[in-house]
């Protein structure tokens, strides 16, 4: 069963505004261009609407200006219409020369692109170049979209290369607009001294346009003890959990094993925690009906984090069940959009997960970047010689059990392992993810008990590992590593897994190598990773992440994305076209955070 497709957050979903730009000279010039210009705008809108959906499954709406825009008065009228319609992303299209300063979008908060039609009759490329120069001079970065091949005027078809750029730009732009005004909910504080748990309000406000909300973990105790949760849903969720969550090994020594009564109580607690965390994030009208109007409102949180260790887990069951189930694309209510909930309140990893989710529409894997296993070390420990994609060694991605169950890889695309948008997931696939997961009693240092997920990600999935870090004096930076998941022989996996924790979920990851720098070899990727955590998205979406980062003015410090997959604002070339990484840093510093 797929849950109803709804917007569970406050505010309407952002729209894409299409701005048809025209040569405003009357007396035959403008008149001859009206139809082809509007046709181009209509084709652009139809293409985007047909190929994009918001992460919650709702369709993406495009708004076209009421008239073509030949001067400042029409530009102003269009800006007012877009403001009323909730447009957050604009694409200007034109097949001809027009007057740039009079027609460009000057709203500093909308993400902008210009599609300059590649034609010779009245070349849109001339307007494109001039308008981009105007944007750059005004400090309003815009993206350039220009097809490789010349088209005839009046041809409103969209070439393949233009389609790819339009989609890359629009997906990233919608992500920017979707985050604006939403909240990050910090449930607890800093876990075990991890710096990524420190909530930097200026980062969320200046770079993401988000606000920060905070609750103490005692809020969970209050709601459990006072019954501030939907009792009927709790009974449904507990029954579903007992039916679908398979019990795994208890590796604790005899003196630390828990009684059946303690285990039962732990299941009841972790299910309640999942309900409460969700209600804290997005609210629940049922609570208002029960007389808890304030609690029923929620915090409008598009992402959240739970501290857990150690203030909570030294006494109460671990939050892994809550984090894993909410981060997955399904639960007792059916198949639905994943929630973004980071373990240990690592808000920087939560933001990275959020970016990946908004770009792919699918669940994300939260993981420790735990170990680099060289071929030599694997052979020494197991006697096995790594081969194939794993021949150069593997990175062991593993955490205590908060990873989305989608990460099992039991969903498929064309018969291959995948992680899909929730609206494409079948009930059979959701069940396979559940069946491939064991729930193991938490190990000894989780003194309050609870359960950890145990699964191994299927090999062969294209995947992108990413992480935002904050560096004093520079601000946020993004790391990206595209690669593939791999599977090791079971006996090899078991030996390596035992050396870490056999009751936790494992993803064996191999990055695509370039032979130089941070991607010289697998070891170099591990050595250059800037934090203990990462987020893993399905697919090779590094190019999309780079586009999104440039919109937010977050430089990318390492990546292995091919040049042809990178789309940044045209101004970036002015900061050093032959030195793209340095140019990215300089451009982001010069323009500053989007909302500063």
* Rounded CA Rg of the chain: 25
Token pair recorded at residue 121: 């009759």
Catalytic residue among 23, 344, 346, 487: 344
Cis-peptide, bond into residue 310, ω within 30° of zero: yes
Q: How confident is the model at residue 155 (pLDDT cuts 50, 70, 90)?
A: confident
In a domain, 385, yes or no: yes
Specify the pLDDT at position 519: 98
Residue from 520, 542, 293 nearest 393 by CA: 520
451 pLDDT exceeds 90?
yes
374 and 232 inside one domain: yes
pLDDT single digits (tens) 384-419: 999 999 999 999 999 998 999 999 999 999 999 999
What share of the chain has pLDDT > 90, as a percent?
Answer: 91
pLDDT single digits (tens) 279-323: 999 999 999 999 999 999 999 999 999 999 999 999 999 999 999
What share of the chain has pLDDT > 70, as a percent?
Answer: 99
188 and 175 inside one domain: no
In a domain, 75, yes or no: yes
Q: How many angstroms separate the first and last alpha carbons of the chain?
A: 44
331 pLDDT exceeds 70?
yes
- 57 alpha-carbon distance from chain centroid: 15
The sheet carrying 111-116 orders its strands as 62-64, 15-20, 87-94, 111-116, 142-145
In a 3-state reduction of DSSP, which class is residue 33? helix
In a domain, 3, yes or no: no
111 pLDDT exceeds 90?
yes
Phi, psi (degrees; rounded to nearest 5) at 439: -110, 110
In a domain, 466, yes or no: yes
Distance CA 571, CA 181 (A): 27
341 pLDDT exceeds 70?
yes
Cα separation values, 395 from 358, 400, 465, 554, Å = 25, 16, 11, 26
Among left, alpha and beta (phi > 0; psi -120 to 50; other), residue 366 is: beta
Inter-residue contact 18 to 64 (CB < 8 Å):
yes
Show which of 162, 179, 196 is a domain's final residue. Answer: 179
CB count within 10 Å of CB 307 equals 24
Specify the pLDDT at position 4: 85
In a domain, 10, yes or no: no
Specify the pLDDT at position 157: 87
124 pLDDT exceeds 80?
no
Distance CA 591, CA 596 (A): 10
Specify the pLDDT at position 11: 95
Specify the pLDDT at position 120: 62
Q: What is the CATH number of the domain that holds 578?
A: 3.20.14.10
Residue 200 falls in the annotated catalytic set = no
Residue from 420, 418, 527 nearest 479 by CA: 527
Token pair recorded at residue 372: 């680099």
151 pLDDT exceeds 80?
no
423 and 505 inside one domain: yes
Show which of 179, 203, 224 is a domain's final residue. Answer: 179
122 pLDDT exceeds 90?
no
Structural domain harbouring 401: 183-591
- From the number of C-beta atoms within 10 Å of its C-beta (0-12, 13-18, 19+), residue 561 rates as buried
Q: What is the CATH number of the domain that holds 138?
A: 3.40.50.1070
468 and 575 inside one domain: yes
Residue 250 falls in the annotated catalytic set = no
409 and 520 inside one domain: yes
In a domain, 420, yes or no: yes
In a domain, 52, yes or no: yes
Top pLDDT among 400 and 230 is at 230
pLDDT single digits (tens) 35-82: 999 999 999 999 999 999 999 999 999 999 999 999 999 999 999 999
DSSP string for 176-188: HHHHTT-EEEEES
Q: How confident is the model at residue 148 (pLDDT cuts 50, 70, 90)?
A: confident
Q: How many domains does the chain have?
A: 2
Residue 316 carries which DSSP code?
A: S
Q: Is 368 annotated as a binding residue?
A: yes
Token pair recorded at residue 245: 């969550």
Q: Which residues pair with 248 in a beta bridge?
A: none
pTM (two decimals): 0.97
In a domain, 558, yes or no: yes
Catalytic residue among 213, 263, 368, 487: 368
Q: Is 533 annotated as a binding residue?
A: yes
pLDDT single digits (tens) 355-395: 999 999 999 999 999 999 999 999 999 999 999 999 999 99
Q: Tokens 């009684």 — which residue?
A: 259
Distance CA 530, CA 481 (A): 12
Specify the pLDDT at position 381: 97
Residue 96 carries which DSSP code?
A: S
361 and 468 inside one domain: yes
Q: Is 331 annotated as a binding residue?
A: no
Quick one: average pLDDT of 250-265?
92
Show which of 124, 156, 179 is a domain's final residue. Answer: 179
CB count within 10 Å of CB 352 equals 32
Q: How confident is the model at residue 444 (pLDDT cuts 50, 70, 90)?
A: confident
Specify the pLDDT at position 311: 94
């Amino acid at each position: 069963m797929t849950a109803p497709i709804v917007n569970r957050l406050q505010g309407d979903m952002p729209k894409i505004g299409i701005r048809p730009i025209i040569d405003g000279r009357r007396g035959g010039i403008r008149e001859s261009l009206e139809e082809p210009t509007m046709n181009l705008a209509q084709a652009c809108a139809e293409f985007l609407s047909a190929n994009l959906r918001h992460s919650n499954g709702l369709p993406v709406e495009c708004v076209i200006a009421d008239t073509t825009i030949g001067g400042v008065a029409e530009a102003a009228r269009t800006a007012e219409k877009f403001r009323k319609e909730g447009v957050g992303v604009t694409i200007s299209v034109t097949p001809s020369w027009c007057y740039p300063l009079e027609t460009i979008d000057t709203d500093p908060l909308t993400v902008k692109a210009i599609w300059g039609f590649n034609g010779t009759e009245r070349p849109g490329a001339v307007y494109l170049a001039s308008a981009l120069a105007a944007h750059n001079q005004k400090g309003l970065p815009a993206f350039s979209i220009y097809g490789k091949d010349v088209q005839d005027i009046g041809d409103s078809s969209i070439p393949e290369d233009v389609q790819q750029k339009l989609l890359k730009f629009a997906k990233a732009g919608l992500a920017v607009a979707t985050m604006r005004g939403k909240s990050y909910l910090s449930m607890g504080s800093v876990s075990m001294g991890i710096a990524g748990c420190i909530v930097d309000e200026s980062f969320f406000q200046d770079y993401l346009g988000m606000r920060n909300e905070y609750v103490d973990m005692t809020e969970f105790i209050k709601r459990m003890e006072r019954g501030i949760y939907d009792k009927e849903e709790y009974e449904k969720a507990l029954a579903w959990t007992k039916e679908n969550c398979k019990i795994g090994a208890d590796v604790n020594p005899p003196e630390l094993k828990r009684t059946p009564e303690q285990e039962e109580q732990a299941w009841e607690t972790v299910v309640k925690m999942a309900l409460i965390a969700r209600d804290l994030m997005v609210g629940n009208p049922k609570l208002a009906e029960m007389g808890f109007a304030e609690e029923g409102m929620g915090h409008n949180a598009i992402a959240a984090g739970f501290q857990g260790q150690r203030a909570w887990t030294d006494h109460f069951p671990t939050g892994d069940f809550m984090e894993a189930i909410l981060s997955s694309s399904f639960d007792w209510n059916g198949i639905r959009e994943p929630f973004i909930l980071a373990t240990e309140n690592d808000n920087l990893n939560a933001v990275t997960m959020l970016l990946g989710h908004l770009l792919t529409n699918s669940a994300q894997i939260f993981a420790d970047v735990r170990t680099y296993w060289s071929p030599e070390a694997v052979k020494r420990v197991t006697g096995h010689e790594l081969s194939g994609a794993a021949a150069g060694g593997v990175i062991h991605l593993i955490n205590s059990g908060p990873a989305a169950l989608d990460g099992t890889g039991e969903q498929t695309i064309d018969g291959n392992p995948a992680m899909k948008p929730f609206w494409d997931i079948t009930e059979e696939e959701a069940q396979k993810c559940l069946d491939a997961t064991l729930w193991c009693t938490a190990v000894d240092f989780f003194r309050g008990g609870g359960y950890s997920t145990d699964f191994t990600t299927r090999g062969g999935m294209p995947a992108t590992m990413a992480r935002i870090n904050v560096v004093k004096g520079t601000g946020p930076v993004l790391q990206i590593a595209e690669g593939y998941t791999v599977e090791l022989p079971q006996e090899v996996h078991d030996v390596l897994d035992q050396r870490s924790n056999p009751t936790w979920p494992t993803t064996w990851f191999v990055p695509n190598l370039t032979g130089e720098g941070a991607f010289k070899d697998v070891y170099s990727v591990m050595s250059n990773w800037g934090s203990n955590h990462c987020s893993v998205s399905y697919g090779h979406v590094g190019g999309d992440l780079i586009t999104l980062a440039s919109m937010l003015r977050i430089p990318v410090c390492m990546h292995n994305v091919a040049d042809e997959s990178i789309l940044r604002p045209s101004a970036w070339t002015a900061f050093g076209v032959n030195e793209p990484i340095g140019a990215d840093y300089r451009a982001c510093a010069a323009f500053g955070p989007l909302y500063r």
